[in-house]
A = this chain, B = another copy of it.
Amino acid sequence: MNDTTPRTAVRMTRQRAAVAGALGDTDEFCSAQQLHERLRTRGDAVGLATVYRTLQTMADSGDVDVLRGEDGENLYRRCERSEHHHHLVCRVCGRAVEIDGPSVEAWAASVGAAHGFADIDHTVELWGTCVQCRR
């Protein structure tokens, strides 16, 4: 009864390969609509809904990082490391650097506990303007 064979297979399709490829081409955070447009001009078009679904799936499985841009839209990026980390993001072009808040994790947990809060989660992101986007 403990069947280990995947009951829900995840299929590899042209669309998913295309989205993954587009994400792999850049180290910038970009939105679903940006990716959709990029794929369209590139030649292998993918439906917008599919882009959203694919990104959501990849985010759920940890294949991409998601963060909410300052204007409210979700931005996606395939990061180098898979462990928990934070980002320093250019608010103009989306270029990002992976950083780790040294003591942030422990600090968040202790502050939360000190005030009787449980299931502490934290958001730590840095925004700036990178050298290329200056001037």
Residues of A within 8 A of B (CB): 68, 72, 88, 90-91, 97, 99, 101-102, 104, 107-108, 111-112, 115-131, 134
Q: Closest B residue to A132 by CB, please name it.
A: B116
Query: Complex formed: what's the CA distance from A71 to B117 in Å?
Result: 20
Q: Which of B68, B115, B127, B130 contacts A88 (CB 8 A)?
A: B115
Whether the pair B111, A120 counts as a contact (CB closer than 8 A) is no
Whether the pair B119, A122 counts as a contact (CB closer than 8 A) is no
Query: Complex formed: what's the CA distance from A107 to B120 in Å?
Result: 22
Whether the pair A134, B118 counts as a contact (CB closer than 8 A) is yes
Whether the pair A123, B125 counts as a contact (CB closer than 8 A) is yes
Whether the pair B116, A123 counts as a contact (CB closer than 8 A) is no
Q: Which of B68, B122, B126, B134 contacts A120 (CB 8 A)?
A: B126
